[in-house]
Amino acid sequence: MASSAAGQSSAPASGARRAHPEHSHRRLRERVAATHWRQRLAARRPLDHGYRLVVGALGGLVVAFGLVTIPLPGPGWLTVIAGLFLLATEFTWAERLLDFTRRHVRAWTDWLGRQRVWVRAAVALATAVFVYGVLVVVLHVMGVPDWVPGWVPLWR
């Protein structure tokens, strides 16, 4: 047994890298700040402030667009999360909000996955009814386009 233990090394194989504990959980903002281009930008204070302003404005617009489109068919929540991800590259509060959102979406998904089929079907049906209702209200307020066929069940 001693010969087999002597032949084994505790070091990882040459191609594999072991994740260092302090680097495995670095925050997104810290990982972006450690990049070469971001360090060069941070060294020039006016450019750094301008960059942060642009990231804040663009991320805010993406989040706002996502929030407006949540009740509509499409990737509303995904857009909100993408905007938070963009903001989290520069702002601590956005990173905390993104972590909060990630935890609650995971908890909701896990909870729904543990439910019986009829509960999941009821949630899917309620979601579809809600999306349809929002679509009908939006089309009622804005007007139904002429290209929508008359047989489509919408308020006219």
Distances (CA, A) of 39 to 32, 34, 114: 9, 7, 45
User: Is 5 among the domain residues?
Assistant: no
Task: Considering only residues 107 and 133, tell me which one the structure prediction assigns the higher pLDDT.
Answer: 107
pLDDT for position 37: 79
Domain assignment present for 149: yes
Interval 14-29 mean pLDDT: 55
More confident site: 152 or 27: 27
Structure tokens at 22: 């302090």
80 part of a folded domain: yes
Q: Quick one: 148 and 78 in the same domain?
A: no
Residue 1's pLDDT is what? 45
11 belongs to a structural domain: no
Task: Please report whether residue 34 resides in a domain.
Answer: yes
- Residue 140's domain comprises 116-156
Give yes or no: residues 46 and 61 share one domain: yes
Are both 109 and 122 inside the same structural domain?
no
119 token code pair: 């509960």
Q: pLDDT at residue 132 above 60?
A: yes
pLDDT band for position 82 (cuts 50, 70, 90) = very high
| 1-5, 113-117, 138-142, range with the lowest pLDDT | 1-5
Mean pLDDT score of the chain, rounded to an integer? 78
Given a contact cutoff of 8 angstroms between Cβ atoms, the answer to whether 27 and 47 are in contact is: no
* pLDDT for the residue numbered 145: 74
Please indicate, yes or no, if residue 90 is contained in any of the structural domains.
yes
Q: Is pLDDT above 80 for 85? A: yes
How many folded domains does the chain comprise? 2
What value, to the nearest 5°, has the Cα angle with vertex 75 and ends 54 and 123?
Answer: 140
CB 70 within 8 A of CB 80: yes
In this structure, the answer to whether residues 33 and 103 fall within a common structural domain is yes
For residue range 32-79, what is the model confidence (pLDDT) as tens digits?
877 887 778 778 888 888 888 999 999 999 999 988 887 776 788 889
User: Is residue 20 situated within a structural domain?
Assistant: no
Q: pLDDT tier at 20 (50, 70, 90 boundaries)?
A: very low
Do 133 and 76 share a domain, yes or no? no
